[in-house]
């Protein structure tokens, strides 16, 4: 029995890193209200962090079977099962309190003030504008790309 277990583990270790075939890195978000981050790709690895915010944006940086190596907006890296993630695009405000604008212009009127780490949904990011239209519940407006995390530089989101 022990020898069989050992052989199974060797076979698993020799498998190539395979996953979804989707491009890396890419952004996803948490599907559930509570999700474990582990030190490796499997339930036998210890939990290092428990996320308690549904829709939190994460960046997938690697894949192994049904496991995704992810990074959060603060730089924490670990593994999560693909079933805990969704392709719904969200973002997190970074730095200081930001002003959500009515138009994609820093002189445009304010819609709301958004606190750091607040999570919102991405509506669109037009090509070469440097701004994205975002939604925070009942508030919709524009933030500059440098004011939040969740979109790669040059990425177009319609």
CATH number at residue 133: 2.30.30.40
* Domain enclosing residue 142, as ranges: 91-149
Contacts 24+ apart (CB under 8 A), 72-76: 73/117, 73/149, 73/150, 76/37, 76/49
Hunting for tokens 């933030």 — which residue is that?
A: 143
Residue 115 token pair? 């606190």
- 97-111 pLDDT per residue, tens: 999 999 999 999 999
- 59-99 pLDDT per residue, tens: 999 999 999 999 999 999 999 999 999 999 999 999 999 99
Give the pLDDT of residue 21. Answer: 86
Residue 8: pLDDT band (50, 70, 90) is very low
- 16-33 pLDDT per residue, tens: 456 788 999 999 999 999
156 falls within a domain: no
Do 137 and 95 sit in the same domain of this protein? yes
Do 101 and 59 sit in the same domain of this protein? no
């Amino acid at each position: 029995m022990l020898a069989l277990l050992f052989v199974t583990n060797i076979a698993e270790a020799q498998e190539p890193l395979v996953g979804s075939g989707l491009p890396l890195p890419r952004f996803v978000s948490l599907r559930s209200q509570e999700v474990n981050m582990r030190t490796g790709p499997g339930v036998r690895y210890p939990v290092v962090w428990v996320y308690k915010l549904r829709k939190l944006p994460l960046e997938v940086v690697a894949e192994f079977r049904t496991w995704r190596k992810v990074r959060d907006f603060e730089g924490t890296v670990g593994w999560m099962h693909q079933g805990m993630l969704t392709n719904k695009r969200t973002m997190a405000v970074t730095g200081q309190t930001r002003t959500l604008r009515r138009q994609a212009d820093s002189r445009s009127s304010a819609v709301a003030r958004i606190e750091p780490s607040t999570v919102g949904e991405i509506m669109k990011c037009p090509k070469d504008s440097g701004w994205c239209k975002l939604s925070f519940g009942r508030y919709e407006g524009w933030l500059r790309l440098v004011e939040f995390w969740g979109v790669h530089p040059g990425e177009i989101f319609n």
